[in-house]
C-alpha cells in the first residue's frame, strides 16, 4: 500500500512507497508517459532492490478529462495533487478558443509554485550548435508568479489603460503616449527572496559553486534592481556563513566551502552563457529573464527535446516535459521521451532519491552514446539507429 508524501519543518518526508499522481497528457503524452513510467519503475527497482516502489495514481486533465467528465480541468485533479503534494505531467493541449484555465496557471496559483526550475546540461552525442556544449551545466531558477507575467495588462485604448495613463500622467508627471497598451511589472522583496533562497538552498545541497542573480537593474532600478539587492541581502542574512559575494571572493579564487553570489545584467548574461558557460552554475532570475534564458540555454545543448522542468513551491511540486503534445505523432511510439524522463529524475532529486536521479541520468546518457535514439535525434546524429519511444526507454534502463 502506498503512502502520502508529507512536508514537515521545511523538508520532504518521503515514504518508501510514495503515492505520486500523474497526468499522462494529450497527443504523444501517453506514448512518452508509458515509456517514462517503465524507466522510473525499473530504475527504482534496480537501485532500491525492492525496498522502494512508487504507487502511481492517475489524475485526469486535458482531452482525456474532457471526454470522460466534460471538463478540461476537474477540481478533483487539483485536490488530489494538493493532497499528495508532488505530481508529474505530460504535455496538455491548450484548447483554442479561450475561456479555459490553463492547468499550469491553475496549479501555480492553487499550490503557489513560485520557482520554475530548469536544469540545462549536455548529453554527449547530442547535436549542438556549440563547439564545446559540455561546458554548459546550469540550473535555472525562474520566479514563476510576479513580474510582467502577473497578468495586470490592459489593451490599448481600453478605459483601464486610459485611466492608468491619466493617473500616472496627472499624479506623477509620467510621460506615456496616449492610447498606449499598459502592462504592470510588480516585483516584491518577498517574492524575489523566496526564489533566491530556493536557489541557494539547492546550490548548497547539490554542491554547486555559485548562484548568479540575473537582472536588468541598470535600467529598471526598483524592480530588477530590487531583485539584485534583495537577493544579495537574503544571501547575507540567511546564509552569511555559507555564501560569499563575488566581490569578496577575489578574482579567480574560490573559498572551498562557500557558494559564491554573483550578479549579471541580463543582456550580458546571454553573452556569458555562450562565451564563458563554465563560470555559471545556479542561476536565479525574475520571471521574464528566466523564461528567455531557459530556452536559449537549452538550445545551446541541443534543443528543447531533452529539457526537463519542475514547478516547485513550499511543500508542493509539479514536474513536466517542457515540450508540447506533438499531436501528429500521437500513438505512433515514435517521439523522444527524454524530457519527461529527465523531469522525473528532477522529481526524485527533489525528494532526496538522488541515487534514482543519478541512475536515470546515467541511463539516458548511455542510451544516447549507444546511438540507438528516437527519430528527432537519429536524423541529426551520423551513424545513429532510429528506435521507437519504448525501445529507447529499454535502452535507458539497460544503461542505468
Ligand atoms: P510541440 O512541442 O508539441 O511541437 C514542436 C515541434 O517539436 C514539433 O515538430 C514536434 O513534433 C516536436 N516535438 C515535440 N515534442 C517532441 C518529442 N518529445 N520528441 C520529438 N519531437 C518532439 O509544440 P506545438 O506544436 O507548438 O504545440 C502542440 C500542442 O502542445 C499545443 O496544443 C500547445 O498548446 C501544447 N503545448 C503544451 C505544453 C505543455 O503542456 N507544457 C507546452 C507547449 C505546447
Cα–Cα dist 203/235, whole Å:
12
CA dihedral 138, 141, 147, 149 (to 10 degrees): 90
**Distance separating the N- and C-terminal Cα atoms of the chain:** 27
Three-state SS string over 16-52 comes to: CCEEEEEECCCCCHHHHHHHHHHHHHHHHHHHHCCCC
Active site residue 314: no
Active-site pick, 26, 31, 147, 291 = 291
| Beta bridge pairs of residue 210 | 260
> pLDDT per residue over 49-87, tens digit each?
999 999 999 999 999 999 999 988 899 999 999 999 999
In whole angstroms, what is the distance from residue 35 CA to residue 213 CA?
37
User: Measured in angstroms, how far is the CA atom of residue 325 from the centroid of ligand 1?
Assistant: 4
Give all strands (DSSP E) within the chain, no chain letters: 6-8, 11-13, 19-23, 55-58, 86-89, 115-121, 137-143, 153-154, 182-183, 210-215, 243-245, 259-265, 282-285, 308-312, 317-321, 372-373, 385-386
Q: What is the pTM of this model?
A: 0.93
- Band (107; pLDDT cuts 50, 70, 90): confident
The verdict on the CB of residue 94 being under 6 Å from ligand 1 is: yes
Per residue in 335-390, pLDDT (tens digit) is 999 999 999 999 999 999 999 999 999 999 999 999 999 999 999 888 999 999 99
14: confidence class by pLDDT, cuts 50, 70, 90: very high
- Each residue's pLDDT tens digit, 146-173: 999 888 999 999 999 999 999 999 999 9
**Residue 105 in grid coordinates:** 496557471
Contacts of 49 (CB under 8 A, 6+ apart): none
Dihedral (Cα; 28, 33, 34, 40), 10-degree rounding: 150
The residue from 122, 149, 232, 316 that is catalytic is 149
DSSP category for residue 3: B
pLDDT value of residue 105 = 76
What is the DSSP pairing of strand 259-265 with strand 243-245? parallel
**Nearest to 301, CA basis, from 187, 136, 170, 181:** 136
Q: What values do phi and psi take at 86, rounded to 5?
A: -130, 130
Per cent of the chain over pLDDT 70 is: 97
pLDDT in tens, 214-247: 999 999 999 999 999 999 999 999 999 999 999 8
Hey, what's the cell of 46?
A: 534496480
| Residue nearest atom 42 in ligand 1 by C-alpha distance | 324
For 265, the 3-state DSSP assignment is strand
Instruction: Let me know if 216 is a catalytic residue.
Output: yes
pLDDT confidence of residue 327: 94
Q: 213 in helix, strand or coil? A: strand
**Could you count the other beta carbons within 10 Å of the beta carbon of residue 355?**
16
Taking residue 64's Cβ as centre, other Cβ atoms within 10 Å add up to 19
Q: How confident is the model at residue 98 (pLDDT cuts 50, 70, 90)?
A: low
* pLDDT tens track for 252-294: 555 567 999 999 999 999 999 999 999 999 999 999 999 999 9
Amino acid at each position: 500500500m502506498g503512502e502520502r508524501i508529507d512536508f514537515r519543518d521545511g523538508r520532504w518526508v518521503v515514504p518508501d512507497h510514495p503515492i505520486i499522481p500523474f497526468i499522462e497528457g494529450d497527443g504523444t503524452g501517453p506514448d512518452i508517459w508509458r515509456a517514462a513510467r517503465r524507466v522510473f519503475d525499473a530504475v527504482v527497482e534496480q537501485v532500491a532492490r525492492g525496498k522502494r516502489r512508487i504507487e502511481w495514481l492517475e489524475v485526469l486533465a486535458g482531452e482525456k478529462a474532457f471526454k470522460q467528465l466534460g471538463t478540461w480541468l476537474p477540481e478533483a485533479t487539483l485536490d488530489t495533487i494538493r493532497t499528495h503534494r508532488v505530481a508529474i505531467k505530460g504535455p496538455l493541449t491548450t484548447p483554442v478558443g479561450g475561456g479555459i484555465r490553463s492547468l499550469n496557471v491553475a496549479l501555480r496559483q492553487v499550490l503557489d509554485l513560485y520557482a520554475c526550475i530548469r536544469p540545462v546540461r549536455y548529453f554527449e552525442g547530442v547535436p549542438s550548435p556549440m563547439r564545446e556544449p559540455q561546458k554548459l551545466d546550469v540550473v535555472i531558477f525562474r520566479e514563476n508568479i510576479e513580474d510582467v507575467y502577473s497578468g495586470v495588462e490592459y489593451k490599448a485604448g481600453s478605459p483601464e489603460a486610459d485611466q492608468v495613463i491619466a493617473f500616472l500622467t496627472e499624479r506623477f508627471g509620467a510621460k506615456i503616449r496616449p492610447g498606449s497598451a499598459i502592462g504592470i511589472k510588480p516585483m516584491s522583496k518577498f517574492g524575489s527572496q523566496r526564489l533566491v533562497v530556493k536557489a541557494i538552498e539547492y546550490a548548497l545541497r547539490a554542491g554547486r559553486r555559485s548562484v548568479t542573480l540575473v537582472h536588468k537593474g541598470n535600467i529598471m532600478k526598483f524592480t530588477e534592481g530590487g531583485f539584485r539587492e534583495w537577493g544579495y541581502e537574503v544571501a547575507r542574512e540567511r546564509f552569511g556563513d555559507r555564501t560569499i559575494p563575488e566581490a569578496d571572493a577575489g578574482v579567480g579564487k574560490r573559498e572551498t566551502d562557500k557558494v559564491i553570489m554573483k550578479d549579471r545584467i541580463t543582456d550580458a548574461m546571454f553573452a556569458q552563457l555562450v562565451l564563458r558557460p563554465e563560470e555559471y552554475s545556479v542561476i536565479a532570475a525574475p520571471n521574464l529573464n528566466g523564461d528567455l534564458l531557459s530556452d536559449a540555454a537549452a538550445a545551446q545543448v541541443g534543443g528543447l527535446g531533452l529539457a526537463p522542468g519542475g514547478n516547485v513551491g513550499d511543500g508542493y511540486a509539479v514536474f513536466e516535459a517542457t515540450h508540447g503534445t506533438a499531436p501528429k505523432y500521437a500513438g505512433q511510439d515514435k517521439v523522444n521521451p527524454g524530457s519527461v524522463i529527465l523531469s522525473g529524475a528532477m522529481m526524485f532529486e527533489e525528494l532526496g532519491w538522488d541515487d534514482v536521479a543519478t541512475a536515470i541520468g546515467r541511463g539516458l546518457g548511455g542510451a544516447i552514446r549507444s546511438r540507438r535514439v528516437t527519430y528527432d535525434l537519429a536524423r541529426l546524429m551520423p551513424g545513429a539507429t532510429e528506435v521507437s519511444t519504448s525501445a529507447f526507454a529499454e535502452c535507458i534502463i539497460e544503461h542505468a
